[in-house]
Chain A
Amino acid sequence: MTEVTLTVNGKKYTQNVFDHVLLSDFIREKLKLTGTHIGCDTSQCGACVIHLDGKSIKSCTMLAVQADGCDVLTIEGLADGDVLHPMQRAFHENHGLQCGFCTPGMIMSAIELIKGKPDITEQEIRQGLEGNLCRCTGYQNIVKSIQEAAKNENNLTNR
């Protein structure tokens, strides 16, 4: 067991964890933040994507002890009360989801993808989503959502 201290969605947590616990399991089971999903065990689906010190990572492929001292942002940390984050709003308005299982990971990846790129092309978005799989939508509306959010990039708070 190791004591880890990390900030998740602006709140500081200090907890004892077994060294072999994955960051995704820590977030879901210890912190009860179940918006971060687990869709595979091969590090390919991207349902578990969160931000670690501002970078998108697959939380299923990292240990909780490795995140000691880090700043974590999960899907739950995006909205401001009832006010959706611009990327969430864009997905909502463009029907960028069906079952919603891939959506938290898609949104976390998309936020990093469009940072500083208001003119990102469809091609760049499709390539940038290599690490996120969706089995429902066929990606069309996901790409549309992200493109719209990118256009509104000026309104995006880089949180």
Chain B
Amino acid sequence: MYSFNYLKPGSIKEAESLLSESDDNKVISGGMTLLPTLKQRLARIDNLIGLEKCGLDKIILREGLLNIGAMVTHFDVSNSALVKTENPAIAQLASHIGDRQVRNRGTIGGSLANNDPSACYPAAILAMSGTIHTTKRDIKAENFFVDLFETALEEDEIITSVSLPKPERAAYEKFPNPASRYAIVGIFVAKFDSEVRVAVTGAGEEGVFRCQQIETALSAKFLPESLSEINISADGLMSDIHAEADYRAHLIVELAKRAVAKSIAR
């Protein structure tokens, strides 16, 4: 690993000003993505800014929305009584990210900032139309995920928390890569009073996306059977050593059916 300094600011204001001092400064949350990158010398930085003392580790209910601090670990999301009652689907999603040791360190803020095309949280936040709160502004999920590993975040902007409305029904289904546990395809289905929203991770060449075809079918009737005639085009889907695009297209429909069934059974 190249050498760097580790800084532990005591407030988010201080963290923000340290980050804006240089393009070669970077924040670190759980480090489950950033440290492997640094170990392989894929990145070089001057100062790592740890967010552990910035008070971003709370889960609260604010104006009817579930608000999860950026530093809350996957384990704490999966294990929180408040999350389990307010939004059981996201608790369940978090309980299947990576492995127990990854969940004990990895955070929701780090996962969203990283926007890995196979990560789980982006599908949930997009399907539930969540809001990402940062040191500068509030960003709707629709405008946040830009491209592979790319978000609307500016260089010196830090995620502080995420807010989620409460869906009537919701569930996440993923087909995990057996080695890494990342999603080969992951589907988050969320039914609200006024609309059904479905987001797909792991499959899109440009990262997480909403699937209108499935949304329309489920808006007519929120049942797994509504999807039996659906065919998803493989255009724009990833092909890699794990799966071909047409296989991913098939998985999208299959997993969507399972997610709907799971959300109804819940």
Residues of A bordering B, CB below 8 Å? 2, 18-20, 22, 41-44, 46, 49, 55-58, 60-63, 65-66, 109, 112-113, 128, 130-132
Q: How far is the CA of A58 from the CA of B104 in the complex (A)?
A: 9
Q: Smallest CB–CB gap between B119 and chain A, Å? A: 15
**Contact of B102 with A by CB under 8 A:** yes
Q: Are A66 and B52 in contact (CB under 8 A)?
A: yes
The contact string, 1 if C-beta is below 8 Å from chain A, for chain B 26-41, is 0000011001101110
Name B36's contact: one of A43, A112, A113 (CB within 8 Å): A43
Q: Are B98 and A130 in contact (CB under 8 A)?
A: yes
**Contact of B99 with A by CB under 8 A:** yes
Residues of A within 8 A of B104 (CB): 55-57
Q: Are A2 and B6 in contact (CB under 8 A)?
A: yes
Q: How far is the CA of A62 from the CA of B32 in the complex (A)?
A: 8
Residues of B within 8 A of A130 (CB): 98-100, 181
Residues of A within 8 A of B181 (CB): 130
Name B100's contact: one of A22, A43, A66, A113 (CB within 8 Å): A113
Residues of B within 8 A of A60 (CB): 39
**Contact of B179 with A by CB under 8 A:** yes
Name A19's contact: one of B32, B39, B48, B101 (CB within 8 Å): B48
Residues of A within 8 A of B102 (CB): 43, 58, 131
Whether A43 touches B32, Cβ cut-off 8 Å, given contacts A131-B98, A131-B100, is yes
Least CB separation from A1: chain B residue: B5
Least CB separation from B73: chain A residue: A55
Q: Are A41 and B5 in contact (CB under 8 A)?
A: no
Q: Are A20 and B105 in contact (CB under 8 A)?
A: no
Q: How far is the CA of A131 from the CA of B106 in the complex (A)?
A: 13
Q: How far is the CA of A22 from the CA of B98 in the complex (A)?
A: 21
Least CB separation from B36: chain A residue: A43
Q: Are B3 and A41 in contact (CB under 8 A)?
A: no
Q: Supply 9 A–B pairs (Cβ within 8 Å), ascending by A.
A: A42-B36, A55-B75, A57-B101, A57-B105, A61-B32, A62-B31, A66-B52, A130-B99, A132-B99
Q: Are A112 and B31 in contact (CB under 8 A)?
A: no
Q: Are B100 and A61 in contact (CB under 8 A)?
A: no
Interface residues of B in 179-224 (CB under 8 A from A): 179-181
Residues of A within 8 A of B9 (CB): none
Q: Are B180 and A44 in contact (CB under 8 A)?
A: yes
Least CB separation from B30: chain A residue: A61
Least CB separation from B45: chain A residue: A20
Name A20's contact: one of B2, B75, B99, B100 (CB within 8 Å): B2
Q: Smallest CB–CB gap between A20 and chain B, Å? A: 5
Q: How far is the CA of A130 from the CA of B40 in the complex (A)?
A: 23
Residues of A within 8 A of B100 (CB): 56, 109, 112-113, 128, 130-131
Whether A20 touches B98, Cβ cut-off 8 Å, given contacts A57-B104, A61-B31, A61-B35, is no
Q: Are B39 and A41 in contact (CB under 8 A)?
A: yes
Q: Smallest CB–CB gap between B53 and chain A, Å? A: 11
Residues of A within 8 A of B98 (CB): 130-131
Q: Are B105 and A65 in contact (CB under 8 A)?
A: no
Q: Are A19 and B180 in contact (CB under 8 A)?
A: no
